[in-house]
Amino acid sequence: MTTPSGILSRFQSESSIRILQFVAGAIFVGIIFWQLQFSTNAICCGDFDGYYHVKWSRVLWEGMKHKTFPPAFPWLPLTTLNPKDYVDHHLLFHIFQIPFVAFSDPRLGAKIASAIFAALAVLSCFWLLLKYRIRYPLVWLIAVLACAQPFLFRMNMAKAPPFAIIYLIIAIHLFFKRKSWPLLPLAFIFTWTYDLFVLLVMAMFFWVMTIAITEYRFEWRPLVYVLVGCIAGLVINPYFPHNLQLLVEHVQIKLTTEDFPTRVGSEWYPYDSWQFLGNTVVACLAMVTGYITFEPFERRRAHFPLFFLLFSTALMIMTARWRRIAEYWPPFAVLFAAFTIQPWLEGIRSYPRRLPPDILEELEPFLDHSRNIMREWISTIAALSVALVLCIVLFFNLRATVHEIQDSEPHDHYRAGIEWLRTNVPPGQIVFNTDWDDFPRLFYFDSSHYYVSGLDPNYLYDKDPDLSRLYDRITVGSQDDPGPLIRDRFGARYVFSDNSHHDFFDEARASGWFDIVYEDTQCTIMYIRDEKVSDVLGP
């Protein structure tokens, strides 16, 4: 018989092992994200949005120091983010960034913050595995890291998604522990951090469904606390009621089943089938494993697997529609597999138990010990084999991610041209930027001027659809004599453009309205004349 001291000793031993596993996992994860983050000297990566987030965090900090909160945002006056209607729907994320970016080198601070936030998101998944004593947690940690190449890439961006994963993991733990009231402050904080708090609402509904299916009852408490927390986060908000208008705008545009009215970022378009499978092979295999090993008839043990089945399946469908969800579905697919296969690893569903009762009774004395040893050997060998395969996949994913990050523009991209703009153009003027996604770098390096479009082209479209369509025609070179239109309709005398807008440049040169006042290998700045001249600009 096991004595109380023996039980305590065993519990302490297991706790020590879990702590050591977590420390080892934290070191491993930290090294990976530090290496990925510093594969470039820029604020990572792919798009330029991180530059906006970092700069705005500094503006928030300056506003706090001068007792102005929230500060005005005058930099996109022609869009729905004009000074009157601007909404910071990442407010708490920007506040979290302040300790990192408030010093002399915000670029370095942003990179350190991004590496830490991404590591915490992965470690929150690892913590959940350890908390619920999932076997072979280090193998599952490797699976989370190897789940998808876009997951590694997007986790390194200086954006809010890592916090969404952290909040969702906390919420799932609260669901599983039947602790409902903490969901209210969690939902409030989530709503202030990121507008994808709707994922928490979705997870809550799936947990209510799980309880209804497994226990035949309606669990109302999570529903009430989550909804009240989200509503409170929207209403008790410095941007209320404009934040509600922006939320509705996002939902209307991004949830459309048709093509977008403007050219939005590639993240809002779907992957093609082979690209989807190639980028997320581990996540796909995790889903298949979960579907195969899930047993819906064992309701008493089906709570956790059923929840992850519903939640990860919904995220998978969303990822197939929008690449934007690529950082959410893959880790939860791995958690689905981990929680679903756990009963098999524990031997709860071992096949000898399914033998006829009379045969099982005769064989029981011989099977108990040998069965346990055999099960341990088989599961350990299988876990090591899976870990080896996952390490190979992780290696290739890391290599691909490093190359993709290194291929993104360096920190000084556009810097020389923007510094010319800041030095030679009087402050407060509107600059016509030919690409909406150039705005974050323009804002970061030159906040003394205002810009036509930025962060999302739909902000200009929703404010003035006709002006947005004119903007599109001008930037693709299909509008004759664009100079007077830029000057009179957009209020801009200077045009900033990267050098890839060849059709726009051809039209501008042929029109006789533009003077090139700055040019380098990355960008061109033009000035719109008062009058058209017949001697057009040469090549």
Neighbours of 28 (CB within 10 A): 17
CA–CA dist 20, 23 (Å, integer): 5
Tokens standing for residue 323:
């690449």
Please name which of 397, 141, 162 lies closest in space to residue 281, comparing C-alpha atoms: 397
Provide the pLDDT confidence category of residue 258 given band limits of 50, 70 and 90.
Answer: low
Provide the pLDDT confidence category of residue 350 given band limits of 50, 70 and 90.
Answer: very low
Provide the pLDDT confidence category of residue 9 given band limits of 50, 70 and 90.
Answer: low
Percent of the chain with pLDDT over 90: 64
SS3 label, residue 528: strand
pTM of the model: 0.88
Regarding predicted confidence, which is higher, 222 or 1?
222
Classify the C-alpha dihedral 263-265-269-275 as positive or negative. positive
Residue 369: burial class (beta carbons within 10 Å; 0-12, 13-18, 19+): exposed
Residue 260 pLDDT greater than 90, yes or no: no
**For the residues 348-375, what does the mean pLDDT come to?**
52
CA–CA dist 178, 193 (Å, integer): 24
Residue 355 pLDDT greater than 70, yes or no: no
Lowest mean pLDDT of 119-123, 291-295, 352-356, 412-416, name the range: 352-356
Lowest mean pLDDT of 376-385, 394-403, 436-445, name the range: 376-385
**For the residues 47-60, what does the mean pLDDT come to?**
93
CA neighbours closer than 13 Å in the CB half-sphere of residue 473: 14
Residue 368 pLDDT greater than 70, yes or no: no
Residue 539 pLDDT greater than 50, yes or no: no
CA–CA dist 270, 28 (Å, integer): 32
Provide the pLDDT confidence category of residue 123 given band limits of 50, 70 and 90.
Answer: very high
Residue 538 pLDDT greater than 50, yes or no: no
Neighbours of 75 (CB within 10 A): 26
Q: What pLDDT, on the 0 to 100 scale, is given for residue 453? A: 95
pLDDT tens, position by position, 74-110:
999 999 999 999 999 999 999 999 999 888 889 999 9
CA–CA dist 56, 113 (Å, integer): 15
Which stretch of DSSP H or E encloses residue 161?
Answer: helix 161-176
Residue 535 pLDDT greater than 70, yes or no: no
Tokens standing for residue 103:
């010093």
Beta-ladder partners of 450: 430
251: left (phi over 0), alpha (psi -120 to 50) or beta: alpha
Q: What pLDDT, on the 0 to 100 scale, is given for residue 4? A: 55
Residue 212 pLDDT greater than 70, yes or no: yes
Lowest mean pLDDT of 139-148, 348-357, 484-493, name the range: 348-357
Residue 254 pLDDT greater than 90, yes or no: no
